[in-house]
Structure 1
Amino acid sequence: MIVEVAFALPTEQKIISLNVPDECTAYEAVIKSGIVDFFPEIDPETAPMGIFAKAIKNPKETVLREGQRVEIYRPLIADPKEVRAKRAAKMKAKKEAEEAAAR
């Protein structure tokens, strides 16, 4: 069956399509894909993975189905909650400054 393995950096991404046997796990597909040759920073033993943006808890036990894409996740650079809070505070300050200038 055909599956894909994907990994992305801010400046580069790679999606590898490969033929795997039935009952292949997400972990096995990552190893077989050879994606670590392109991105040596990936540690398949510890890297969080998902299938079509849905995290999987145990890649070594998650059996793939035809056409699925295993995604290897990298650590976030910034906490999304903090980014949203900073953006909201900035917008609030801008709005207050505009209102003060209009008076």
Structure 2
Amino acid sequence: MAPMLAVEVVYALPDRSWRVAVQLPAGATVADALALADLGAQVPGLDVDPARLAVFGRSATLQTTLHDGDRVEILRPLLADPKQARRERARSAGKP
């Protein structure tokens, strides 16, 4: 019998999060985990963008091979450019 991987798929909003634990065969990919977790059925309006996926905070693709204990993260789009937000904070901190 092929070894199985225990993987978690997560998606979070500011006020709520979803976590789905799935069991996958060795060699499974992020795409396999997303399909099995089927978060789209639980999260209203969820549109998974393949460019916004991570495994433990590291950028991942649909073809990324998973390991036992991995956490697949569906990332939300950024609301502001981090560099621009930092500039704005620095500018406003210098004003009395």
TM-score range for the pair, normalised by the shorter chain length: 0.7 to 0.9
| Higher strand content, 1 or 2 | 2
CA distances 1:31-61 after superposition (whole Å, capped 9, x unpaired): 10121112243334645211000001x31x2
- Percent of pairs with identical residues: 33
Larger radius of gyration: 1
What is the aligned partner in structure 2 of residue 100 from structure 1?
none
Q: Structure 1 unaligned runs (5+)?
A: 95-103
Q: 2:80 aligns with which of 72, 78, 81?
A: 78
Q: How many residues align?
A: 92
RMSD over equivalenced CA pairs, Å: 1.5
Q: Distance in 1 between matches of 2:93 and 2:40?
A: 41
Q: Structure 2 unaligned runs (5+)?
A: none
CA distances 1:67-100 after superposition (whole Å, capped 9, x unpaired): 0000011111111111111111111012xxxxxx
87 and 36 in structure 1: CA distance in 2 versus 1, 3 angstrom threshold = same
| Higher helix content, 1 or 2 | 1
Aligned-partner residue type, residue 26 of structure 2: D
Kindly indicate whether residue 90 of structure 2 is the aligned counterpart of residue 92 of structure 1.
no
Provide the TM-score with structure 1 as the length reference.
Answer: 0.80
Q: 2:53 aligns with which of 49, 52, 55?
A: 49
